[in-house]
Structure 1
Amino acid sequence: MPAIDAQDLIERYIGIWNEPDPEIRRKTVQDLWAEDGLHVLRPPQEMHERAVGLGFPTAVLEARGHDELHARVTRAYDEFVAPGTYVFRIQEAARRLRDVITFRWESFHTGEGQVTGGGLEFLVLDEDGRIKVDYQFVD
């Protein structure tokens, strides 16, 4: 695996969720994730409980490959960042152990001037230093 600056990687990762230019988002998705990269989200508690109630006890959401990942990032940008309501920020510096990087992030409500949510990111890198699996746990 090439030398990877874990902090730089997570700064680029967080930056993509705040990026207004769709072409830069698409290019960054291609740079950060492996071609068949996977983003796995454990949904917020309310959504998880509703899914379990519908008979999906292991409710998770997934986006695989550059097109789905770009759509996932774009959807989050359009809903949370584009209206000027939130920005996503790094809450806890990157920690790396071999091919795994973890960090905590937060959503900052710009109008209220306070943190309103966040989560834990668990990134598994491939041999090229790109994200193979991205596990996201929303608090």
Structure 2
Amino acid sequence: MSDIRQTVEQYIAIWNETDGDRRRALIGAVWAEDGRYTDPLADACGRAALDALVEAVQGQFPGFVFTLGPVDAHHHLARFTWGLGPAGEEPPVVGFDVLALDDAGLVATVAGFLDRIPSA
């Protein structure tokens, strides 16, 4: 599980990386070229679309950081919880993702679920 846990940690690091060049380098190292991210509010296919999505989320929640919860993994799959909020505080946004790796060990898909979001 250590390899897939490391991939999950890198995946969370992508969401926290605000420098575009470094974020795109991380995406290139972790995500399959045609990888797909889907949650109730977004559907991004490909590295450029994922980069744009991360940038948009960072713009919507400036100064917030993603924190990783428990990771459970087997074979090429991992499920994990995460929080999004100000560093060191209870996150107002909480979710659950399922990540699948391709045969090369790159992220092929992430299915995201939102367990708690702030009211509008």
Q: TM-score range by the shorter chain?
A: 0.7 to 0.9
Write the letter of the residue equivalent to 1:133. T
Tell me the distance in 1 between the aligned counterparts of 2:111 and 2:100. Answer: 8
Q: Secondary structure of 1:5's match?
A: helix
Matched positions, count: 115
For the 8 Å contact 1:87–1:110, the answer to whether it is kept is yes
Unaligned runs of 5+ in 2: 116-120
Match of 2:73 in 1: 96
Give aligned-pair identity as a percent. Answer: 31
- Structure-2 residue corresponding to 1:132: 108
Uncovered stretches (5+) of structure 1, i.e. residues with no partner:
44-60
- Give the counterpart of 1:114 among 85, 90, 97: 90
Q: Which has the higher contact order (CA 8 A, sep 6+)?
A: 1
SS in 2 for 1:115: coil
State how 1:34-53 maps to structure 2 within 5 Å: 34-43=32-41
Superimposed CA distance per residue, residues 43-90 of structure 1 (whole angstroms, 9 cap, x where no aligned partner): 3xxxxxxxxxxxxxxxxx31001111111111112221xx32x21100
Q: TM-score of the superposition, structure 1-length normalised? A: 0.75
TM-score, scaled relative to structure 2? 0.86
Distance in 1 between the 2:74 and 2:90 partners?
Answer: 31
- Matched with 1:10 is 8
Residue in 1 that maps onto 2:118 = none
Aligned alpha-carbon RMSD (Å): 1.8
Rg comparison, structure with higher value:
1
